[in-house]
Amino acid sequence: MSVPMTTNEIRAKYLEYFKKNGHIIVPSSSLVPENDATTLFTGSGMQPMVPYLLGQPHPLGKVITDSQKCFRAQDIEEVGDNRHTTFFEMLGNWSFGDYFKEGQITMMWKFLIEELKLDPSRLYFTCFKGNDELGISRDNFSAEHWQKLYKEKGIEVSIGENPEVDGIVGNQHIFYYGEKKNWWSRTGVPANMPEGEPGGPDSEMFFDFDPENKNKIHENSKYKENLCHPNCDCGRYVEIGNNVFMQYKKVGNKFEELPQQNVDFGGGLERISSAVNDDEDIFNLDVFDEAKKILIEKSRKGYGADEKITFAMRVILDHLRAVTFLIGDGIVPGNKDQMYFVRRLVRRAVRFARDLGINESFTKDVAQTFIDTYKNEYKNLEEKREVILSELEKEESKFRTTLEKGIKQFEKITKTVVVTPNTQTLKISIPKPTVITGIEAFDLLQSYGFPLEVTEELAKERGVTVDIEEFERLKEEHSQNSRTASVGKFKGGLGGDGEMETKYHTATHLLHQALRTVLGDTVVQKGSNITPERLRFDFAYDEKMTDVQKKKVEDLINEQIKKSLPVIREDISIDEAKARGAMGLFTDKYGEKVSVYRIGEGKNRGDANLFSIEMCGGPHVENIGTLGTFKIIKEEAVSQGVRRIKAVLE
């Protein structure tokens, strides 16, 4: 039986264990990815490790271990149940061409059983079933190795071939699944991987939180029609880690072996801690204890008192822990990019606190507890304590001054409208249509600081929907107008810095596509940096570009500029974006909509009148005819396999 341990103790135990096994402990990277413009946040442990998985030598050697801070913005709306958080730590151990399946599985088993003292009868393991079309065979080795390790403990377990149909039968503890479950790459299943992307089969580890099925979790879940199995997602079996055997690279429709066989292990620290402490509610972990006390004290309500209270407390705990770390990594609340997420999280926490009856300053006190809990592992939190607290205080009080008024305004919008005809004293009640218009939602944002999802949530609680399309259009129009306004301020009609940056942003899309056209589709964006004076673009490519190639890229771009192609933004589902051939890394596994910018009228990649289609947050010019002449001023290597271009618009 496992004994209770704090989350900090488990992290330390993991890192020490791998150190004992020859690994070097490396610190967590920042939550803001370095040299990777494709995602706003670091969302998995492997993200900072991609170059090393592809073969670049890691400066600290072939075997390393870490605990990586992660933030998944796409999970904001999942928070509220007992296991989703936006911020989490991912424990990782890495072999860059050193040990492989046998070494990893044995080390991991010993860690779970001997160090954490988890009960083997509550553990389940899954392995890749294989795919003939891809030419990748079933991972018998891993399955049989887990089985052997059970046997060494005197436990006979068998392997399930078809858990999705048969459920768990007899003494099965190991199961085969297809690529939807047991294949890992940043972009998901093999079919969705772009050229050159690394990936491989994986072996996942699950913990059974309800072995006697006392809580009847499955029966109460939306999956109750099916038989329960480790991957059925009902909440009884929770994934606590994933051993990825990262050994392939996508080439055409097939896979080639990478130069080395890698291991990428990632395990959610909080979930492992929940398993060790045998409590499936992540928000019952020790790291939330002090923060929870504050919420209970200030609201005079108990955690778990009822569903609504529990939900609100979980949202607040999650969001304030996330912003403590995000501000610690230098992202303050604001209106753009990463900063807007911080703003949304704080405002959402404040609005849920109102539901708990907390109407006084509280975010600062809660953040203090997180700084205290994590400061030994994450020293920057202590160094940034004052900044974190003062940014929270500012953002909270700014929002609080308009929150009450905004809620009143919201009630007015959604309440029954009473019409009093002039000629009579009779009052007629007309129920308000069930939609909040885009104008109303935009006004709630502009005048009361309500991020769209706050409006959406309030609307949902009242069974009303929001016209998001109109809202987005107005927001876009507004930001175009404010850009024009700022341009107008410059004497002689010269564009301001913001406008130049926007132009370079659009030019970056042109460059990305032009490089792919000239050098081939293996070119993938690795980074981008824009100033009002120039653009800088890093991309995966092995050789120095020739003068002819550079000239071709310039000519191609300038030809498009001469055609004055329009730039069109659309918000579409990830599936549609992929189907239409948009560029960009689809790391957002769970998100719903993405913005896609097209340059040219055509809709899909390959259409004659479409030059580029790319996932992006903007902003962009409306028509590329205004860009001027594109010129490459430098082309150089940044690291092995990565080139850098600096270019200007003249």
Which residues of this protein are in contact with ligand SER, per CB under 6 A? Answer: 44-46, 92, 184, 242, 244, 264-266
SS3 530: strand
Nearer to ligand SER among residue 58 and residue 354 (C-beta): 58
Q: Which one, 38 or 368, has the nearer CB to ligand SER?
A: 38
Shorter beta-carbon distance to ligand SER: residue 62 or 400: 62
Phi, psi of 9 (to 5 degrees): -65, -40
CB of 139 to ligand SER, least distance (A): 16
CB atoms within 10 A of CB 174: 23
CB of 527 to ligand SER, least distance (A): 21
Neighbouring C-beta atoms of residue 408, cutoff 10 Å:
11
CB of 429 to ligand SER, least distance (A): 54
Kindly tell me which of 72 and 343 has the beta carbon lying closer to ligand SER.
72
**Whose Cβ is closer to ligand SER: residue 244's or residue 561's?**
244
Residues 6+ apart with CB under 8 A from 465: 434, 435, 436, 459
Write out the DSSP string of 97-155.
SSS-HHHHHHHHHHIIIIIS---GGGEEEEEE--BTTTTB---HHHHHHHHHHHHHTT-
Q: How far is CA 287 from CA 7, 265, 292, in A?
A: 7, 23, 9
Closest chain position to ligand SER (CB): 266
For the bound state, the minimum distance from the C-beta of residue 40 to ligand SER, rounded and expressed in Å, comes to 17
Q: Are strands 435-436 and 24-25 parallel, antiparallel or unpaired?
A: unpaired
**Which stretches within 462-580 are classed as H helix?**
468-488, 497-519, 547-562, 574-579
For residues 264 and 538, which CB has a smaller minimum distance to ligand SER in the complex?
264
Closer residue to ligand SER, CB minimum distance, 32 or 468: 32
* Cβ closest to ligand SER, residue 104 vs residue 414: 104
Question: Is the Cβ–Cβ distance between 515 and 623 less than 8 Å?
Answer: no
Structure tokens at 463: 């069974």
- Would the CA dihedral through 332, 620, 30, 318 be positive or negative? positive
Q: Which of 136, 233, 238 is nearest to 178 (CA)?
A: 136
Helix/strand/coil for 589: coil
Least Å distance between CB 207 and ligand SER?
A: 16
- Is residue 69 within 8 Å of 63, Cβ to Cβ? no
Query: Least CB distance from residue 284 to ligand SER, whole Å?
Result: 24
CB of 184 to ligand SER, least distance (A): 5
Q: How far is the CB of 278 from ligand SER (least distance, A)?
A: 23
